[in-house]
Amino acid sequence: MRQSFQIQMPSQTSTPHSLAHVAVLSEVAQLRDALQTVGLSLVPHPVLVVIGGASYFEPEQNHQIQQLFREAIAPIAQRYQTCVVDGGTDSGVMRLMGNARSHIQGTFPLIGVAPLSLVEFPDKPNEHPESSPLEPNHTHFLLTPGNSWGDESHWLAKVASELSGTTPSVAILLNGGNVTWRDALENLRAGQTVIVIDGTGRAADEIAAGLRGEGTDSRVADLIAAGRIEAIPLQDALQQLTTRLEKAFRSLSHSN
* Backbone dihedral region for residue 151 (phi beyond 0: left; psi -120 to 50: alpha; all else: beta): alpha
CATH of the domain at 53: 3.40.50.450
Q: What is the mean pLDDT of each run of 10 residues along the chain (256 residues)?
A: 87 68 95 96 94 83 93 97 97 96 97 98 92 97 97 97 95 97 97 96 95 90 94 97 94 56
pLDDT computed for residue 60 by the predictor: 78
Split into its structural domains, the chain has a count of 1
Note the maximum CA span of the chain.
50
* Rounded CA separation 218/61 (Å): 27
- In this structure, is residue 5 part of a structural domain? no
- In this structure, is residue 7 part of a structural domain? no
Range of the domain at 35: 18-255
174 backbone dihedrals φ, ψ, rounded to 5°: -130, 130
Q: Where are the alpha helices (DSSP H) in the chain?
A: 31-37, 62-68, 74-80, 92-103, 153-164, 178-189, 202-211, 219-226, 237-255
Alpha carbons within 13 A on the beta-carbon side of 49 = 34
- In this structure, is residue 41 part of a structural domain? yes
- In this structure, is residue 12 part of a structural domain? no
- In this structure, is residue 2 part of a structural domain? no
Indicate the residue type of 132: S
**Are the CB atoms for 99 and 56 separated by under 8 Å?**
no
pLDDT computed for residue 14 by the predictor: 45
- From residue 123, how far is each of 67, 142, 216 by CA, in Å? 31, 19, 45
pLDDT computed for residue 254 by the predictor: 47
- In this structure, is residue 60 part of a structural domain? yes
- In this structure, is residue 6 part of a structural domain? no
* Packed helices 202-211 and 178-189: angle between N→C axes, nearest 10 degrees: 50
- In this structure, is residue 216 part of a structural domain? yes
pLDDT computed for residue 58 by the predictor: 77
